């Protein structure tokens, strides 16, 4: 039964996009219970003829849901198609994946995005490495230990953090890092701003996963004379593990596409730079931003290609999250 709970989990986080699809609108069997085709059949002797009005309402509801579905789909397909068609050809060149933009001007073709991909990955991973312990431990505190006023306050803070616009997070770190501490704008400062955005996401998703772990398992462990902290480490966390990983991957995907803090704190460079404290460091969003206003074709092409690369990266993380959710969950 606990495996069911873990599966519910997957639905809880991963399947959000699916909810845009009107349930039942696409699958045929739904007509069976709607009574829509009843007019053509001979009326049932017991239940009589389905009311005409209900049939009409049923069709109307279905049409409205379909329209809403298409409406939601149009911009999505449009964006994907534009980015794909404008950006794909650069991605097919091996140079894109092996070179940086060093020494390449807007006028010239060539060069790649390695510097930006590397930067995005390094900053994303650093952010995750800092955020995951903080987020997971906060969630453990809230679910397993948190009682009374302090826990309520923490939970409220997390709610507030969830609502912070990314540019505010960026400016806040700027105020602390640059204005107050007098330090340079560097990749690490970007990571700090991203941590502010990622922690609440991880706290909330981990909290949900921990709450889904049945209390009976905790009690079974206590009844064996296992202390609480060990019960959490060895029973609760493993049971919720795949759900937590999924939450982390989705949070990471979100944070990697974040732009505002990068614009404020992470100055762009065309060369490869891997030092988080070394000042200039390229990322995919800042690479896009760099040539955003260019009208020269080689630069415009690179903007589209960088956008497509970023989308692919985020997509990959999302897929990884789903795979973990599906195959990592406890099976019977």
Partner 1 sequence: MAKRIDVSDLNVYYGSFKAVEGVTMTVEPRSVTAFIGPSGCGKSTFLRTLNRMHEVIPGGRVEGKVMLDDQDLYGSGVDPVAVRRTVGMVFQRPNPFPTMSIYDNVAAGLKLNGIKGKKKLDEVVEKSLHGANLWNEVKDRLNKPGAGLSGGQQQRLCIARAIAVEPQVLLMDEPCSALDPISTLAIEDLISELKSKYTIVIVTHNMQQAARVSDQTAFFNLAATGKPGKLIEIADTQKIFSNPSVKATEDYISGRFG
Query: Which residues lie near partner 1 (CB under 8 A)?
Result: 2-3, 6, 147, 214, 216-227, 230-231, 234-235, 238-239, 241, 330-332
Reading the block at residue 35, the tokens are 């009574």
Least separation in angstroms between residue 235's CB and partner 1 is 6
How many angstroms separate the CA atoms of 203 and 213, rounded?
Answer: 16
Q: Which is nearer to partner 1, 40 or 332 (CB)?
A: 332
Compute CA distances 313 → 34, 64, 156, 166, 323, whole Å.
42, 34, 32, 20, 15
Q: Which is nearer to partner 1, 205 or 231 (CB)?
A: 231
Q: Which is nearer to partner 1, 185 or 218 (CB)?
A: 218
Least separation in angstroms between residue 326's CB and partner 1 is 16
Neighbours of 85 (CB within 10 A): 11
Q: Which is nearer to partner 1, 236 or 253 (CB)?
A: 236
Going through the chain in order, the beta strands assigned E by DSSP cover none
Length of the chain: 332
Q: Which is nearer to partner 1, 69 or 141 (CB)?
A: 141
Torsion angle of the four alpha carbons 125, 178, 202, 255, in this order, in degrees rounded to the nearest 10: -60
Give, as one character, the DSSP assignment of residue 44: B
Least separation in angstroms between residue 230's CB and partner 1 is 5
Reading the block at residue 67, the tokens are 């329209």
Least separation in angstroms between residue 328's CB and partner 1 is 11
How many angstroms separate the CA atoms of 164 and 200, rounded?
Answer: 10
Q: Which is nearer to partner 1, 217 or 320 (CB)?
A: 217
Least separation in angstroms between residue 244's CB and partner 1 is 13
Least separation in angstroms between residue 319's CB and partner 1 is 24
Angle between the 52-91 and 297-328 helix axes, to the nearest 10 degrees? 120
């Amino acid at each position: 039964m606990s495996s069911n709970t873990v599966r519910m989990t997957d639905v809880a986080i991963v399947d959000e996009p699916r909810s845009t699809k009107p349930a039942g609108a696409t699958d045929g069997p739904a007509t069976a219970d709607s009574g829509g085709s009843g007019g053509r059949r001979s009326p049932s002797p017991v239940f009589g003829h389905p009311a005409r009005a209900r049939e009409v309402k049923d069709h109307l509801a279905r049409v409205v849901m379909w329209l809403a579905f298409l409406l939601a789909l149009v911009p999505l397909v449009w964006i994907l198609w534009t980015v794909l068609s404008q950006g794909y050809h650069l991605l097919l060149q091996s140079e894109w994946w092996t070179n940086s933009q060093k020494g390449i001007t807007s006028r010239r073709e060539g060069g790649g995005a390695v510097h930006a991909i590397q930067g995005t990955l390094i900053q994303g991973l650093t952010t995750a490495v800092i955020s995951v312990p903080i987020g997971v431990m906060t969630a453990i505190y809230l679910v397993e230990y948190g009682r009374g006023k302090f826990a309520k306050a923490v939970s409220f803070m997390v709610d507030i953090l969830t609502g912070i616009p990314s540019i505010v997070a960026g400016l806040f770190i700027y105020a602390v890092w640059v204005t107050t501490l007098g330090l340079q704008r560097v990749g690490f400062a970007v990571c700090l701003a991203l941590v502010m955005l990622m922690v609440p996401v991880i706290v909330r998703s981990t909290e949900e996963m921990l709450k889904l772990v049945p209390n009976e398992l905790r009690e079974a462990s206590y009844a064996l004379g296992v202390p609480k902290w060990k019960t959490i480490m060895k029973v609760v966390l493993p049971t919720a593990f795949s759900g937590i990983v999924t939450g982390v991957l989705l949070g990471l995907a979100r944070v990697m596409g974040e732009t505002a803090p990068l614009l404020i704190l992470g100055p762009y460079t065309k060369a490869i730079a891997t030092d988080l404290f070394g000042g200039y460091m390229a990322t995919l969003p800042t690479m896009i931003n760099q040539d955003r206003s260019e009208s020269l074709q080689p630069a415009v092409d690179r903007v589209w290609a960088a956008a497509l690369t970023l989308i692919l990266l985020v997509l990959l993380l999302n897929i990884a999250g789903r795979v973990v959710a599906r195959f990592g969950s406890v099976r019977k």
